[in-house]
Amino acid sequence: MVLFAQVIGSLYGLLAVVFGAFGAHALKKSFSQDQLQSFETGVRYQMYHGMLLLVLGFNFNLEAPFERLMIYSFIVGVFLFSFSIYILNYGASKGLKMKFLGPITPLGGFFLVMGWCLLGYSFIRNLI
C-alpha cells in the first residue's frame, strides 16, 4: 500500500504540473477567466493531495484498514474532484453541456474531506 500511495502521489504531481502548464499556456486562449480559475483550483488540489500521498507513503506503514481507506479516499477524491473540473471546463469551452458531471465534483470533495478526517483520526488514535 505504501508504494501504491507513492506511485499515485507522484503521478498526481506529474499530471498537476503538466495540466498547470497546459492551462497557463494552451487553454488561456479558449477558456474564460472563470474557467481558468476553476481549472487552476483543480490543479492546485491535485498537487496538494499528490504531495500528501507522498508524505503519507513515506511516514505511515498504511497497514491498518482505516489508513488504507484514508489513502483510497484521497486518491478517489482527487480523481473525482480535479478531473471532473478539468472535463467540465474543457467541455464548456467547446460549448458542450455535461450536467451529469456536476454532482461528481462535490462527491470528490466529500472523499477528500473523509481522507482528512481519517488522517486526523490517525493522529488522535496515536495520542490515546
Domain presence at residue 43? yes
User: 34-61 burial, b if ≥16 CB within 10 A, otherwise e?
Assistant: ebbebbbebbebbbbbbebbbebbeebe
Most distant pair of Cα atoms in the chain: their distance: 54
pTM: 0.95
User: What pLDDT is stored for residue 1 in this prediction?
Assistant: 86
Give the confidence band of 128 by pLDDT, cuts at 50, 70, 90. confident
Identify the DSSP state of 87: H
For the chain, what is the domain count? 1
At 101, list the grid cell. Answer: 458531471
User: What pLDDT is stored for residue 126 in this prediction?
Assistant: 85
What residue numbers bound the domain in which 9 lies? 2-123
Chain mean pLDDT for the chain? 95
Domain presence at residue 39? yes
Percent of the chain with pLDDT over 90: 85
Average pLDDT over every residue of 37-59 = 97
- The answer to whether 9 and 57 are in contact (CB under 8 A) is yes
Domain presence at residue 50? yes
Domain presence at residue 107? yes
Domain presence at residue 62? yes
Q: Is 110 exposed, middle or buried (0-12, 13-18, 19+ CB in 10 A)?
A: middle
Amino acid at 5: A
Average pLDDT over every residue of 64-77 = 96
- The answer to whether 51 and 78 are in contact (CB under 8 A) is no
User: What pLDDT is stored for residue 5 in this prediction?
Assistant: 97
Domain presence at residue 71? yes
Residue 87 has pLDDT above 90, yes or no: yes
Average pLDDT over every residue of 47-56 = 98
Domain presence at residue 65? yes
Where is 1: in which H helix or E strand? none
Domain presence at residue 128? no
